[in-house]
Chains A and B, each alone.
Chain A
């Protein structure tokens, strides 16, 4: 993370920044990233709902619409650019605008795509459509410098075990029903834990006071995992759990909840902390087990954790322990980059745009606008990680030493 200095020297005069907009779920963010992967700006807002409730597409889209212009201005200012995306010498620095095409919630996606299309027209720069999951992976690789890791992508909407193969991020295993983050959020709701800043964080903190492991089904099906049965059971356990969570109380040390051997049957008295502990231990064990299988299948020597749940410290500790046992390395990032953000979309967008520039015979502005036209700026709720040909830019890396070493001809 160290070399992500906010200011880094431009080495040539061609515009070399990309602005990216993300808003596929309840976070909305605008990021500005350089062609070297330096993050110039990455502001973000989260749509937070009252405890016991979740976010709905319509309200979330409204939230995003209300704050997105502010975020764009903030990002530009932070990167020392004016509203024309020019620097103080009046030179246009932004080479392209990137936005999340999907997957995600329709309304929120569209709210962001509209702004991206507008900026693209306004600044006359290409509009690059980005796959949300691929953006997470590329950002994770950028930050951690993991070259070819197996990826555990865990968030509110997605749960996938991924490995790069033949130009694609191939999905080795995934949830067959709901996503891990969604399962955690719904139990948080059932226990009336706060949603601010994120329900998952309170599940994590609450679990630290857990004493006993309850009984939840462990559902690994082949390479895939299933959380729905476990969630139903956890929700019903939640109704009888004694409420003890105090968000302001000091947290016990992380090992405390793991020390005890005690388990409890459903009839015994138990607390919200026991439910959270059991939920995390069970779900994360399932995830780490499938990740390990993917690693042994592909021979990967590292694992990269991405997505919002990837910043859960307990999950990180478990993944690290698993990797350590097999002599592999575990890469994780913190909440700035794990959680949905604009910079990741900008970075994935830059990679796609640069791959085109390297391959194209004509890289004039007109040709670029034709290759990435505004008319292509639609959204789709279903967009598989393996639909994207990541070889376009990963092949460039293999030739050079550094992820972006290959320069465009222009």
Chain B
């Protein structure tokens, strides 16, 4: 990745990286910052939402603006709760851009895809930390809305255990309902268990739950665990008849 900017295209946003000190706008200038500058530069992420052509314009505007606002709002709330999330540096409502602190490391999706037998312990710790982060979020009545492994950043260092940060809060909401929290976990469960390779442990999601239980209050844990069973069974119970 070049130092000036990098590019990541998601479903409804383009992401640029930029060195914080120089240029906050996503320009495509070829000039690279000098090394001295780079040493002070704290790289940031600029996430720019773009219109989706398949949606009706009016609906698209409503959704895009709504998601930008809820991303900013819920990142702040999550941070206050003590969940590791990128800091919000700036929100540009007209350009539909949010400027974020850049979390070093890889997404959990990449980590899981690349894991080998030797990483088993580290993956376990990571999943537990992820569970704990979710519990903190839920304890504060925020649901993430899109808890998939590509929305979890994992930072590993030599010295300490891997740390987990949550990103992509566009679908996040305030909710006190155990149901909504259970759905959060259910999404994560399906995504994580389906990325497991052959020969891996059958249910890596178990570690997430263990981490969740260790952090959540008794009340939250009991309510969410019961609801999670309900949500899992929901599909199976539904008579598929109009």
Chain A nearest CB from B167 CB (Å) reads: 16
Chain B nearest CB from A325 CB (Å) reads: 6
Q: Interface-forming stretch among A81-89, A111-119, A138-146, A172-180?
A: A172-180
A interface size (C-beta, 8 A): 52
Q: A258-B56, A318-B54 are in contact. Are A223 and B240 (CB under 8 A)?
A: no
Most chain A CB within 10 A, of B54, B145, B238, B240, is at: B240
Q: Within residues 380 to 397 of chain A, which ones have a CB less than 8 A from any CB in chain B?
A: 381-384
Most chain B CB within 10 A, of A104, A174, A221, A322, is at: A221
Residues on the A chain within 8 Å of B241, using CB: 24-25, 103-105, 157, 381
Which of B54, B190, B234, B237 is in CB contact (< 8 Å) with A285?
B54
Contact with B along A121-162 (1 / 0, CB 8 A): 000000000000100000000000000000000011110000
B171 touches A220 (CB 8 A): yes
Chain A nearest CB from B185 CB (Å) reads: 9
Residues on the A chain within 8 Å of B53, using CB: 321, 325
Chain A nearest CB from B19 CB (Å) reads: 29
Chain A's interface: helix, strand, loop or mixed, by majority? mixed
**A335 within 8 Å of B (CB atoms):** no
A281 touches B59 (CB 8 A): yes
**Assembled-state Cα–Cα distance A222/B241 (Å):** 23
Q: A174-B235, A325-B53 are in contact. Are A104 and B58 (CB under 8 A)?
A: no
Q: Interface-forming stretch among A291-299, A347-355, A399-407?
A: A291-299
Residues on the A chain within 8 Å of B59, using CB: 213, 218, 281-282, 285
**Assembled-state Cα–Cα distance A27/B161 (Å):** 59
A222 touches B186 (CB 8 A): yes
**B213 within 8 Å of A (CB atoms):** no
Interface contact tally, CB-CB below 8 A: 96
Residues on the B chain within 8 Å of A171, using CB: 235
A222 touches B242 (CB 8 A): no
For B184, give the chain A residue with the smallest CB separation. A222
**B11 within 8 Å of A (CB atoms):** yes
Residues on the A chain within 8 Å of B52, using CB: 322, 325
Which of B54, B58, B194, B238 is in CB contact (< 8 Å) with A262?
B58
Chain B nearest CB from A74 CB (Å) reads: 27
Q: Within residues 25 to 74 of chain B, which ones have a CB less than 8 A from any CB in chain A?
A: 52-59, 63
**Assembled-state Cα–Cα distance A261/B234 (Å):** 38
**A224 within 8 Å of B (CB atoms):** yes
**Assembled-state Cα–Cα distance A277/B237 (Å):** 32
Q: Report which B residues bind A (CB closer than 8 A).
A: 11, 52-59, 63, 145-148, 171, 180, 183-184, 186-187, 190-191, 194, 234-242
Q: Report which A residues bind B (CB closer than 8 A).
A: 24-25, 103-105, 133, 155-158, 165, 170-172, 174, 176, 178-179, 181-182, 185, 213, 218, 220-224, 258, 261-263, 277, 281-282, 285, 288-289, 292-293, 296-297, 317-319, 321-322, 325, 381-384
- Ordered by A's residue number, 10 sampled pairs between the chains whose C-beta atoms are within 8 Å are A25-B242, A103-B241, A165-B194, A174-B235, A176-B234, A218-B63, A223-B190, A285-B56, A318-B55, A322-B54
